[in-house]
Amino acid sequence: MQDLDTLESVCDTLDSVLTRLASAYRALPESKLLGRLPDGRTRAVAGHELATLIAIAAQGVEDRSRPSAPSWRLLPYEGPFVVGDQLGVTGHDLLAACSRLGVRATGDGRGHTAADRDDVDGGGGDDAADAAAEGSAGFVGLGSAHAAYAYGSVPASTAVWAPPGVRCDRTGVGTVLSRVLAAAEELAGVLYR
């Protein structure tokens, strides 16, 4: 497993694994998408379950400052041909949420800390409004995440909301990302069986 001293180390690996999985799912024919894995699930269902886990992890990171656990949003199943895109989009959302833990993503690849943003926008502004003003900078493709995101040295112990099924309300972001990475690597290992 990756050294989780910084968020960047696990995000590097997660970015790579999710990019490969999203591309693989987009290339699979219907017969493979609907084919069964050794555990009995179809490849499409297994990919959708991973995309759902990624989406929930992203929501836990995004809503980390809420005083109580968020109302978890579930990812709808839109059919087998959408799973690759769901993996790509939710992976992007998770990496973007992680980049905002300590450093804001920018189109030029340079991160800006909260203090930098306050200098630019006069301080005190709404982070969501700041993010909307920045637009979707860098959201070209999951594989190009490091061109747009700067993770800084955010520790893996940064508290976020734990996804449902975890025995605690809050956990470190490194723990959440490790869980997502393990699930993604497991799926990648059986995808072509």
pLDDT at res. 37: 95
For residue 175, which of 149, 155, 193, 153 has the smallest C-alpha distance?
A: 155
Does residue 131 register a pLDDT over 50?
no
Q: What is the CATH number of the domain that holds 105?
A: 1.20.120
Domain membership of residue 84 as a residue range: 7-190
Q: Is residue 2 part of a domain?
A: no
Stated as kind and residue range, the H or E segment containing 25 is: helix 7-27
> In the prediction, which pLDDT does 136 show?
32
CA dist list (Å): 145 to 15, 129, 133 = 7, 22, 19
Token output for 177: 């990302």
Whether residue 34 lies inside any domain: the answer is yes
Residue 161 falls within a domain, yes or no? yes
How confident is the model at residue 102, as a pLDDT? 63
Give residue for tokens 């993604």: 184
Task: Report if residue 51 sits inside a domain.
Answer: yes
Say if 1 falls within a structural domain: no
Tally of structural domains, the chain: 1
Instruction: Tell me which H or E stretch contains 57.
Output: helix 43-62
* Pairwise pLDDT comparison (53 vs 172), residue with the higher score: 53
Q: Given pLDDT bands bounded at 50, 70 and 90, which one contains residue 153?
A: low
22/140 Cα distance (integer angstroms): 14
Bridge partners (DSSP) listed for residue 171: 160
* 47 has a pLDDT exceeding 50: yes
Task: Establish if 156 belongs to a structural domain.
Answer: yes
The mean-pLDDT minimum among 12-16, 112-116, 143-147, 180-184 falls in: 112-116
Report the percentage of the chain scoring pLDDT > 70: 69
